[in-house]
Structure 1
Amino acid sequence: MRRVAAGVAVLALTACQTAEVPRVDVFRPDYQGAETRLLEGDLVNFIVTMRGARDGQDVLDYAQCVAAQYALIRGFGFARQVRTQVDNEGGLWRGDAVYTVSSAIPRGLRTIDAEVAVEDCGARGIPTV
């Protein structure tokens, strides 16, 4: 009889441990648009805004997607990040990014193959315009 009671107790504890806990960390970004400003020559400034970012990396990703699409629209195959500044005020995230665009792969570490990047952005649900 004790063995049966012990077995029932173990099953009861196991059932308690398998209960699902609802996730509260769901990522629901609200991409609110981008402004583009041609600075000089091949330098382009992108201002992106969004809500619901988890951190600054989400804003950087959004800016990169916009820069990649811009490069393709202008007939270039590549972009390179020069700098990006990210700010969060009251839940509104803003990225101020500067990129160079070019037809040949640029020198530097932060180069982007625009066609590959735009495809990746689409797969990740990040708008490019």
Structure 2
Amino acid sequence: MTLSLHNALTGLALVASLSACAMQEEGAVSRGESAPEYGGVTTRLLEGDLVNFHVEMQGATAPADVDDYAECAAAQYALIRGFGFARHVRTTVNLEGGIWRGDAVYTVSSALPRGLKTIDAEVTVAACEENGIPTV
């Protein structure tokens, strides 16, 4: 009986071990989705220092990915126009047919603007490059 119990426990341990491996592989597949594809940015000056960014991407995992892409575009735009800062006003994100679209509005300025959602353009562009997020 002792040998039989030992064999049963060994068998259970083996099944548990194989199940854990299968779960890890299955999790890796679901997390291993393809890298995001950035579809481009359309920029439109609305009024004065107010700028609208339309971004498109595929493979985003959450609306925050689209927000990040728009923020990278806004930061680069600020630098291109000779400004050092931007402030986030609003972003709307939609997913349709596997394509994520963001509609974001930022202000750009040479001095640090008031508000909680301010962006140092140089720092943000550097972070975008490190994270593989394209800018304008």
TM-score, normalization by structure 1? 0.88
The alpha-carbon distance between structure 1 residues 11 and 96, as it changes in their structure 2 partners (threshold 3 A), is closer
Indicate whether 1:37 and 2:38 are aligned.
no
Q: Which moved further from structure 2: 78-87 or 25-34?
A: 25-34
Runs of 4+ in 1 over 6 A off after TM superposition: none
Q: Which amino acid counterpart does residue 12 of structure 1 have in structure 2? A: L
Aligned counterpart for 1:21 among listed residues 3, 20, 25: 25
**Amino-acid identity (%):** 58
Residues matched between the structures, number = 129
TM-superposed deviation, 1:71: 0.5
TM-superposed deviation, 1:46: 0.6
Q: 1:25-65 deviations in whole A, cap 9, x for unaligned?
A: 23521100001111111111111011111121111110000
Identify the residue that residue 74 of structure 2 maps to in structure 1: 67
Aligned positions of 1:107-122 closer than 5 A: 107-122=114-129
TM-score, normalization by structure 2? 0.84
Indicate whether 1:54 and 2:61 are aligned.
yes
Helix, strand or coil for the counterpart of 1:21? Answer: helix
Q: Which moved further from structure 2: 117-126 or 16-25?
A: 16-25
Q: Which has the larger helix fraction? A: 2
Question: Considering only aligned residues, what root-mean-square deviation do their CA atoms show, in Å?
Answer: 1.8
| Unmatched runs of 5 consecutive residues or more in structure 1 | none
TM-superposed deviation, 1:123: 1.1
Q: Which amino acid counterpart does residue 26 of structure 1 have in structure 2? A: G
